[in-house]
């Protein structure tokens, strides 16, 4: 169950799963392109106070979305719109553009003990 459906929250899910387990790079790029178009619409919407681009750093890292396009959209968003971008290996240009950058480090994680990602907890 998607918790966002319980609230009046605009959202779009790329829906192709974990990209490091991809069966088709072309399919992933196509899905990322659609998700990015939806994201750009949200980044230009003055009625949205917060936009969360979850795991966006991977789309840049894998070359699925052009970094310059992301930076242009971020620079042209409504003045008081807050944007949160998550994911590891964030490109230095996004870090330089950000007001706040945090890094989460796992002290202990079930994955290292062989526990696979679980629906409802990890996604």
Segment 59-104, tens digit of pLDDT: 999 999 999 999 999 999 999 999 999 998 999 999 999 989 998 8
DSSP string computed for 44-74: T-TT-SEEEETTHHHHHHTTSS-HHHHHHHH
- Residue 52 domain flag: yes
Rounded alpha-carbon distances, angstroms, from residue 111 to 86, 114, 116: 19, 5, 6
- pLDDT score at 37: 95
What pLDDT is attached to residue 105?
A: 86
Ramachandran bin of 60, using left for φ above 0, alpha for ψ from -120 to 50, beta for the remaining angles:
alpha
What is the rounded average pLDDT for all residues in the chain?
85
CA distance readout (Å), 43 to 1, 19, 38, 78, 110 = 26, 24, 9, 7, 35
118 — pLDDT class (breaks 50, 70, 90): confident
**Residue 40 domain flag:** yes
DSSP letters, 70-112, are: HHHHHHTS-TT-EEEE--SS--HHHHHH-S-------SS-GGG
Percentage of residues of the chain with pLDDT beyond 70: 83
- Residue at 106 is within a domain: no
| CATH number of domain containing 22 | 3.40.50.300
Task: Compute the distance between CA of residue 94 and CA of residue 61 in angstroms, rounded to an integer.
Answer: 12
49 domain-assigned: yes
Residue-range definition of the domain harbouring residue 83: 10-98
The domain tally of the chain equals 1
Residue 15 is predicted with a pLDDT of: 63
- In this prediction, residue 17 carries a pLDDT of 61
pLDDT higher than 80, residue 44: yes
- pLDDT the model gives residue 112: 87
In a domain, 36, yes or no: yes
């Amino acid at each position: 169950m998607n918790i966002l459906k319980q609230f009046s929250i605009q959202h779009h899910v790329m829906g192709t799963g974990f990209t490091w387990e991809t069966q088709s790079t072309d399919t992933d790029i196509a899905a990322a392109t659609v998700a990015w178009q939806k994201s750009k619409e949200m980044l230009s919407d003055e009625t949205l106070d917060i936009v969360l681009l979850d795991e966006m750093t991977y789309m840049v890292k894998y070359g699925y979305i052009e970094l310059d396009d992301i930076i242009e959209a971020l620079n042209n968003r409504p003045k008081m719109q807050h944007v949160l971008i998550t994911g590891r290996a964030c490109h230095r240009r996004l870090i330089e553009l950000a007001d706040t950058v945090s890094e989460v480090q796992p002290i202990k994680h079930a994955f290292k003990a062989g526990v696979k990602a679980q629906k409802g907890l990890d996604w």
